[in-house]
Homo-oligomer: A and B are copies of this chain.
Amino acid sequence: MSKAIVLLSGGLDSTTMLAIAKSQGFTISALTFAYGQRHQSEVESARRTAKAFNVQDHTVIDIDLRAFGGSALTDMIDVPKDRTLDEMTAAIPITYVPARNTIFLSYALAIAEVREAFDIFIGVNSLDYAGYPDCRPEYVSAFQAMANLATAQAVGSGPQLNIHTPLIHKPKAEIIQAGIELGVDYSTTVSCYEANGDGRACGHCDACILRRQGFQQCGQEDPTRYVDHEMAGI
């Protein structure tokens, strides 16, 4: 069985992606970052998912992106609320964390090299996160090209490293549908930028709105545990 490194945040997208990678027959090493983000309950969700999908191993790496600042997800800057899709994609959101995916993929590359894995999965999505430069296909292609020059494996004539982005062009409703068919329990995943300690969602940040609309559009019940219990079950 081929080995794959799967970047697992604990949110809806990466959890679905883990299920997809598993269904493709990969032996999975999951990789999660505790990066000083406000939504620590995401990391707990990642641990539950890794266990539920019986991954080979799960590494949680502490890195402090707060040292650089510049994002509402790591600094004490207000996360925007109740925005329309147009507002979300009009400019690079303040929730963008500088060079985050590049740092995450670099660690994945190091682990891939040590484990002799040639497949990395990252759950970027260029529809929902149109404003994030490091969620675009051209960025991922450039990272893959660099990765194939970066490692000891790259110098030899062995297999090339592949970065898989199975969700990159998928609308949220389609992601949810695929996940449900693969047995994902979305009640345990945390997407909210301001989830509370218990993992309950605010229902108003961009991530909550995209997720909620996804469940509505595919006609599935929304199992998200909201802080405001009135929001549940739509």
Beta-carbon contacts of A76-114 to B below 8 Å, as 1s and 0s? Answer: 000000000000000010001011111101110111011
> CB-CB < 8 A to A168: which residues of B?
none
What's the dominant secondary structure at chain A's contact region?
A: helix
Within 8 Å of chain B (Cβ to Cβ): is A21? Answer: no
A110: contacting residue among B98, B109, B136, CB under 8 A: B98
- Taken together as a complex, chains A and B put the C-alpha atoms of A120 and B79 apart, in Å, by 31
Q: Give chain B nearest CB distance to A32 CB in angstroms.
A: 12
Contact with B along A127-139 (1 / 0, CB 8 A): 0000001101011
Q: How far is the CA of A102 from the CA of B154 in the complex (A)?
A: 13
What sequence of 0s and 1s flags, for each residue 50-87 of chain A, a beta carbon within 8 Å of any chain B beta carbon?
Answer: 00000000010111110111100000000000000000
Chain A interface residue count, CB cutoff 8 Å, equals 42
Contact A142 B149 (CB under 8 A): yes
**Whole-angstrom distance from the CB of A60 to the nearest CB of chain B?**
10
- 24 residue pairs A–B, Cβ–Cβ below 8 Å: A61-B64, A62-B64, A63-B63, A65-B110, A69-B114, A92-B152, A92-B155, A98-B110, A98-B114, A99-B110, A99-B151, A102-B146, A102-B150, A103-B103, A103-B106, A103-B110, A133-B155, A134-B149, A138-B149, A139-B146, A139-B149, A142-B142, A142-B149, A143-B146
Residues of A within 8 A of B (CB): 59, 61-65, 67-70, 92, 96, 98-103, 105-107, 109-111, 113-114, 133-134, 136, 138-139, 142-143, 145-147, 149-152, 154-155
